[in-house]
Structure 1
Amino acid sequence: MGLFGGQLSNVVEWEEYRDDVIFWKWNNSEIKRGSKLIIRQGQDAIFMYNGKVEGIFTEEGSFDIESDIIPFLSTLKGFKFGFNSGMRAEVLFINTKEFTINWGTKNAINIPAHGLPGGMPIRAFGNFNCKVNDQAVLIEKIAGIKKQFTVDEIKERVIAALNQLLMKWIMKCGKDMFHLQSDAYEIARGICEDLDMEMCKIGIGITGFFIESFSYPEEIQKLAEKAASQSMVTDTAKYTQIAMADGMQNENKGTNMALDMAGLQMGMMMGQQMVNQMQSQTGHNSSGKVELNTDTNKAVPNFCPNCGAKTNGTNFCSNCGTKLI
């Protein structure tokens, strides 16, 4: 201990672990004799020397650097710690988990549409999954000049390419400009493939891409809702009544409940009137039983003189309602 008293050992670890960080670089001045490497679950540790990868360690646990790590390094496997000097190396910790990142278009994308010279302005929202799939490329393209790399930086790169990809795949897979949600799966699958090819250039793989919704300008959305409501009303007279009711409701917003109650009462009255009328025409009494002819002085014809239906001895024709006697 006295021989190496002036030499303090290190603990090489990624202690302040963050879910939004893809990699973090430990780069103290040097690694001392007796230092340990700690790899936690969901991490890989990569030793680098003079900007080159010396060894990649994926097994979690605590390791003695001199005995467990150095013998497996490419050019440092024979390294011996000096009296007062340590090993000058960097250790890159990589987060190996899969990330889920929300995305949304910053501005509306004008998709070419028939009859719209400026195109149809559309926004879209969703999320995508990604993870590190090529550590060597990530180190070469990104890690060499950065201390850490975050999810937000991945998101910026994806969104920068997203507008063109959305336009490409909406035009290719979108069968109906007003019902893009029904084609969202095919559009998202195409975008995922293209986006994965683009992001693999920096060692990141896109493992999933999802579109939660498309949104249209407010004016177009209102027109679509109005068209949908009108398509449910096939009778012109009924549509006129609904339009009049809507107008009354707009003019008397403070009396909506009173209008609803009055409408309910009117409906009940009209229903009762219809029941009474049907009873008077078909010869039904309030108990629902059929009234038979009890006047023996008048004979009921076997068949209705108006429609020819069989009478079954009732005072009124059950088919057309004609009075028989």
Structure 2
Amino acid sequence: MIVGTDNVVFLEALEWFDETGQELLHRLPESGSGEIKYGAQLTVRESQAAVMYYKGRAGDAFGPGRHTLKTGNIPIITKILSVPWAGTSPLRAEVYFVNLKVFPNLKWGTRDPVAFRDAELGFVRLRAHGVFNIRIVQPVLFINTLAGTMGKYSTEQIEDYLRRVIVSRLNDYLGETLDTLFNLPAQFDELAVGLKKRLDKDFIRFGLALDELYISSITPPEEVQTAIDDRSRMGAIKDMDGFVRMKAGMAMEKAALAGNEAGAGLGLGMGMMMPAMFANAAHTANPADTRQQGGGQAPPAVPTTQCSDCTNTIPTDARFCPFCGHQQVVLLQCSNCGKNLAVGAKFCSRCGHPTDEKPAACICSNCQNENLPGAKFCDNCGQRIS
């Protein structure tokens, strides 16, 4: 305390407590700049930093402890010298207290869905949500770029802007790193770490640090979720035929346990439907089966045989298997011109020779062994047949 001739003049004792837990910055005096006197005491806590502005310029930041402030406002003398300014000293000063603690659990999320081109699902719109933590690492830069001359600055005033920055960067980051939503569940942590690194520069230019960022959910529209669920179910079912039979059996069991006329009718109906269900399941499992065409009409029956290599059912007159490409064995040839004949043909389609005449056997001139028609070597002695 300094005692003057006419009155008592007190020195300031400056300190600040954040009662809300949400204030990033607080200015003293609260009404604006003041005549902070020479010798005023400034107390700064461990979780704080203080910046004194004197004559409109920022001085050094004060760390934890008690500090003595030095200004040109000397008690009594300043009052006399400030008479031309109506007794108000032109040597204005103010102190900004900056909260250095971590501000956790700030929410971020998409107001409108962001566009994402999925490699398997195509163009989808995603919604994302999460939380992030911030703290001030450069007090003077934070004051000069964001707070300015405001007396108070809280997380509510900056949270909306930071939320928009995060969503904007998320949109670009997903497009560069994620191929399909099917790989998303295993990449939440990796996406959060990568997104945090990309946002560091956006935060540091305001004197802020993104202490941590978490992604709690990334959700596609309901119809896309349904498609993902259906694909998961199909992947879990290894034997579709067995699955259909199991479902049919369960339905019949439930009908039998019902024990009434409706249950008996349902069981009878399921029993009549089961053969068709099994036939459809087998038809779906075998890609070689010919699908029924429109109107419920089946295509005309075609003579078929079995491929000797892959055992698939193929047309009898096929020269190569359409499934494995295996060349088919010739079952019958015209004895006159050698053309391959279809099964059951009575005349050759090339020369018209009857097919019921047996081709002449090849007799070996060496051992007189009877060989198959068209043989070039004897299967008994190995001599060339002339």
TM-score for both structures, normalised by structure 1: 0.63
Is 2:85 aligned against 1:81? Answer: no
- Look up the SS of the partner of 1:145 in the other structure: coil
Are the counterparts in 2 of residues 181 and 214 from structure 1 also a CA contact under 8 Å?
no
Find out whether 1:7 has 2:9 as its counterpart.
yes
Report which of the two structures shows the higher radius of gyration computed on alpha carbons.
2
Please give the per-residue CA displacement for 1:193-252, whole angstroms capped at 9, x wherever unaligned: 22111122221122332222211222222332233233222222442256568989xx9x
Q: How far apart in 2 are the matches of 1:149 and 1:24? A: 7
Query: CA offsets per residue over residues 102-146 of structure 1, 9 Å max, x none?
Result: 3222221110234766x2111112222322122222122123232
Distance 2:38 2:149 in 1: 28
Q: Which residue of 2 aligns with 1:155?
A: 159
- Name the amino acid aligned to 1:21: E
Q: Which residue of 1 aligns with 2:117?
A: 112
Could you tell me which runs of 5 or more consecutive residues in structure 1 were left unpaired when the two chains were aligned. Answer: 71-75, 252-325
Q: 2:58 aligns with which of 40, 45, 53?
A: 53
Report the Cα offset of residue 90 of structure 1.
0.6
Alignment of 1:95-244 (within 5 A): 95-100=99-104, 101-114=106-119, 119-240=123-244
- 1:69 aligned partner: 69
The alignment partner of 1:37 has SS state of strand
* Equivalent residues of 1:45, 1:92 under 8 A apart: yes
Q: Secondary structure at the match of 1:209?
A: strand
SS in 1 for 2:181: coil
CA distance in 1, matches of 2:211, 2:231: 39
Give the superposition deviation at 1:184. Answer: 2.6
TM-score normalized by the length of structure 2: 0.54
| Structure with the higher fraction of residues in helix conformation | 1
1:19 aligns with 2:36: no
- Ranges in structure 2 where 5+ consecutive residues have no aligned partner: 80-88, 256-386
- Distance in 2, Cα, partners of 1:195 & 1:8: 48
In structure 2, the residue matched to 1:42 is 47
Q: Secondary structure at the match of 1:202?
A: coil
Q: Secondary structure at the match of 1:221?
A: helix
Distance (whole Å) between structure 1 residues aligned to residue 100 and residue 250 of structure 2: 58
Distance 2:21 2:213 in 1: 20
Partner of 1:214, secondary structure, is strand
- The Cα RMSD (Å) is 3.2
Question: Deviation digits for residues 26-53 of structure 1, max 9, x if unmatched?
Answer: 1353335774323223111111113311
Higher relative contact order (CA 8 A, sep 6+): 1
